[in-house]
Chains A and B, each alone.
Chain A
Amino acid sequence: DAKTTQPPSMDCAEGRAANLPCNHSTISGNEYVYWYRQIHSQGPQYIIHGLKNNETNEMASLIITEDRKSSTLILPHATLRDTAVYYCIVPGLFSGGYQKVTFGTGTKLQVIP
């Protein structure tokens, strides 16, 4: 698996953009970057994924550097409900070629009123 590194915690003012970084310097050319978040007492929830190009959906934007060694998840207007742990994941493969979804410890984002 490509290892990912994220800061353990971040704060963001409500209404501001939250920019969550992730390093994945060992990522290979055909591996996608996924982002999930886990709100307290709930299971993780998928946010977005990307390969090379920047991606945007109704929840967030994903910016991937040209060398693909890092990415940034952007929540354009953070709300209190965005307080959660955010996980950056580069799934590996089991021996049979099936995707192995392994989580690290993530970034705990605290949105402050």
Chain B
Amino acid sequence: DVKVTQSSRYLVKRTGEKVFLECVQDMDHENMFWYRQDPGLGLRLIYFSYDVKMKEKGDIPEGYSVSREKKERFSLILESASTNQTSMYLCASSSPAGITEAFFGQGTRLTVV
């Protein structure tokens, strides 16, 4: 069974902390995505990576950075967490070969206090 695993289901961090959200996929997919989901706003794309060490900004990259040192792992970094980054964060992966679907993790609910 294909799997995208996010390291934490729930996380509480303090304002100003550096936060790492980890995502691992076991499907050998080239593409990986980070989204955040907020009530009334749907899922919004933060960053995308199409290969190791490669990244593209999504629609709301401000306040975030990413790291992709290995193909199976894609990390989202909040350099200095703020309360407006309290949200549900979802990771996804897909294969670029032809037309394929994206597989999602279960999400990390981050609360910044």
- Measuring CB to CB, which residues of chain A are less than 8 angstroms from any residue of chain B? 32, 34, 36, 41-46, 49, 87, 94-96, 98-106
- Measuring CB to CB, which residues of chain B are less than 8 angstroms from any residue of chain A? 4, 31, 33, 35, 40-45, 48, 50, 56, 58-59, 90, 92, 94, 96, 99, 101-107
Assembly CA distance A34 to B101 (angstroms): 8
A-B contact pairs, 26 of them (CB 8 A): A41-B107, A43-B92, A43-B106, A44-B43, A46-B101, A46-B102, A46-B103, A49-B101, A96-B50, A98-B31, A98-B50, A98-B56, A99-B31, A100-B45, A100-B56, A101-B33, A101-B92, A101-B94, A102-B44, A102-B45, A103-B35, A103-B42, A103-B43, A103-B44, A103-B45, A105-B42
In the complex formed, the residue of A with least CB distance to B106 is A43
In the complex formed, the residue of B with least CB distance to A98 is B50
A99 touches B103 (CB 8 A): no
A44 touches B96 (CB 8 A): no
B-chain residues with CB within 8 Å of residue A99 when the two chains form the complex: 31, 94, 96
Assembly CA distance A106 to B42 (angstroms): 7
Assembly CA distance A40 to B43 (angstroms): 14
Closest 6 CB pairs of A and B: A43-B104, A46-B101, A103-B43, A105-B42, A98-B50, A94-B56
